[in-house]
Amino acid sequence: MDTAFKSFFLICIIILAVLTFLCLIRTIKGPRLVDRIVGTNMIGTMTIAIIALLAAYLNESSILDICLIYAIMSFVAVIVLTKIYIGIYNEKKSAQHKKEEESQDEY
């Protein structure tokens, strides 16, 4: 039974690694900034799952500490990227609003 679980964990790790690579392609390719943020979040989530499965595969509970630290770092990274995106969006919106006001003042 132990070998069946180890094989299952190994197969899950390989599948998650392939899916992480596909998310990396989506993150790089884009087309929008929101797609990149979601792709980054998905990469972080799948990496956390890979680390947790690796801890179960190796039967090492100390690796779960690394998993928790990575989860916190991933969360903070997504929050920072979202704050940057909101700042860029607000700047574009205010510039567009200012441009519209200037064009209305000319008439």
Q: How confident is the model at residue 15 (pLDDT cuts 50, 70, 90)?
A: very high
**pLDDT surpasses 70 at 37:** yes
Average pLDDT over residues 87-107: 83
**Helical packing angle, 2-29 and 33-58, nearest 10°:** 160
pLDDT value at position 1?
Answer: 65
**pLDDT surpasses 70 at 107:** no
Helix (H, G, I), strand (E, B) or coil at 1: coil
For the entire predicted model, the pTM comes to: 0.78
Average pLDDT over residues 42-71: 92
**pLDDT surpasses 70 at 62:** yes
* Mean of all residue pLDDT scores within the chain: 89
Instruction: Work out the number of other CB atoms within 10 angstroms of the CB of residue 80.
Output: 10
Which contiguous run of DSSP H or E holds residue 54?
A: helix 33-58
For residue 6, what are the domain limits? 2-106
- Please tell me the total count of domains within the chain: 1
Q: How confident is the model at residue 106 (pLDDT cuts 50, 70, 90)?
A: low
